[in-house]
């Protein structure tokens, strides 16, 4: 993305607009090894090499992240009282406008994607795109074929009717059971509400995949990494975005 040098540095959170202008004019910023004293010169943020005050900066302003969301943090950009998923990322991700794609409840764990691409974010959440999410749920009781049929039939949840979803029972116990639900929409508390409508309280909920992306088994709870280019290409396809973008 082409961006003026002063804007590029402020977007990265390197300093205020007036600070970065002073640094640039003072010869403290370099691009591709050359000192640049004009704050209005534009550069390619994703490919040009940037340094400021003797330090190399990662200049990319378009980044995409996979996080293993832990329980106990809100999926929100910020919150005055409670920790949010954004607090688990270095501050630069907030500066460049990376946002979570959809929400997981505070007590839900598992894969959460972040992107700076607002259009991709929007498209991945659009009900018409049917991006499937797979949740593993520890539930009270023993869901049987009637629960599987209810999920498949599109459940009436009062204020909306859920799209048909796939329910697989992984292990059935008298007290608690483990099941997996594949759903293509993401209404508030949707999976918990679907299980509740089938008569089963969700005790623990974990999302193991989001569209084409599986939670990286190497990530620890609270850990994150950037998406690989293959993962990003798969996400673009799921969002219906042309590869050439
Ligand atoms: N459905 C829920 O009920 N909770 C989540 O966190 C995600 C999907």
Ligand 1 centroid distance, CA of 205 (Å): 7
The pTM for the full model equals 0.94
Task: Read off the pLDDT of each residue in 66-85 and give the average, rounded to a whole number.
Answer: 96
Mean pLDDT of the chain: 96
Q: What pLDDT is stored for residue 245 in this prediction?
A: 54
Tell me, using a 6 A CB cutoff, whether residue 191 lines ligand 1.
Answer: yes
For ligand 1, pick from 67, 71, 75, 103 the residue to mutate: most ligand atoms within 8 Å of CB.
Answer: 103
Cβ atoms within 10 Å, residue 181: 23
Q: What pLDDT is stored for residue 242 in this prediction?
A: 79
Nearest atom (ligand 1) to Cα of 105? 6
Residues facing 207 on adjacent strands: 110, 135
Q: How far apart are the C-alpha atoms of 91 and 86, rounded to whole Å?
A: 8
Tell me, using a 6 A CB cutoff, whether residue 111 lines ligand 1.
Answer: no
Are 132 and 90 in contact, with CB atoms under 8 Å apart? no
What pLDDT, in 10s, does the model give residues 79-93? 999 999 999 999 999
Ligand 1 centroid distance, CA of 83 (Å): 18
Minimal-distance CA residue to ligand 1 atom 1: 191
Q: What pLDDT is stored for residue 127 in this prediction?
A: 87
Tell me, using a 6 A CB cutoff, whether residue 129 lines ligand 1.
Answer: no
Q: What is the DSSP string of 163-225?
A: PP-EEEEEE--SSEEEEEEEES---TTHHHHHHHHTT--EEEEEEEEETTEEPPTTPPTT-EE
Task: Indicate the pLDDT class of residue 244, thresholds 50, 70 and 90.
Answer: low
Ligand 1 centroid distance, CA of 80 (Å): 23
Task: Indicate the pLDDT class of residue 208, thresholds 50, 70 and 90.
Answer: very high
Burial class (CB in 10 A: 0-12, 13-18, 19+), 182: middle
Q: What pLDDT is stored for residue 154 in this prediction?
A: 92
Q: Is the pLDDT of residue 206 over 90?
A: yes
What pLDDT, in 10s, does the model give residues 161-195? 999 999 999 999 999 999 999 999 989 999 999 99
Find the largest Cα–Cα distance for the chain.
72
* Enzyme catalytic residues: 105
Task: Read off the pLDDT of each residue in 98-122 and give the average, rounded to a whole number.
Answer: 97
Q: How far apart are the C-alpha atoms of 20 and 29, rounded to whole Å?
A: 9
Q: How far apart are the C-alpha atoms of 96 and 104, rounded to whole Å?
A: 22
Ligand 1 centroid distance, CA of 17 (Å): 40
């Amino acid at each position: 993305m082409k961006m003026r040098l002063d804007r590029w540095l402020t977007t990265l959170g390197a300093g205020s607009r007036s600070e970065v202008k002073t640094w640039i004019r003072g010869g403290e910023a370099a691009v591709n090894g050359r000192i640049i004293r004009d704050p209005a010169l534009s550069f390619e943020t994703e490919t040009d090499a940037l340094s400021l005050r003797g330090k190399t900066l990662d200049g990319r302003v378009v980044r995409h992240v996979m996080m293993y969301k832990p329980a106990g943090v809100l999926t929100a950009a910020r919150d005055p009282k409670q920790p949010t998923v954004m607090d688990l990322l270095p501050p630069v991700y907030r500066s460049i406008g990376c946002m979570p794609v959809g929400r997981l409840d505070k007590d839900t764990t598992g894969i959460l994607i972040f992107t700076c691409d607002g259009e991709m974010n929007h498209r991945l959440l659009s009900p018409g795109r049917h991006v499937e999410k797979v949740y593993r749920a520890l539930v009270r009781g023993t869901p049987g074929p009637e629960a599987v049929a209810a999920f498949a039939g599109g459940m009436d949840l009062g204020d909306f009717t859920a799209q048909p979803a796939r329910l697989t029972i992984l292990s059935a116990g008298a007290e608690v059971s483990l099941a997996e639900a594949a759903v293509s929409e993401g209404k508030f508390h949707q999976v918990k509400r679907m299980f509740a409508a089938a008569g089963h309280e969700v005790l623990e909920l974990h999302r193991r995949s989001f569209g084409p992306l599986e939670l990286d088994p190497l990530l620890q709870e609270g850990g994150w990494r950037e998406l690989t280019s293959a993962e990003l290409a798969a996400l673009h396809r799921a969002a219906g975005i042309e590869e050439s973008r």
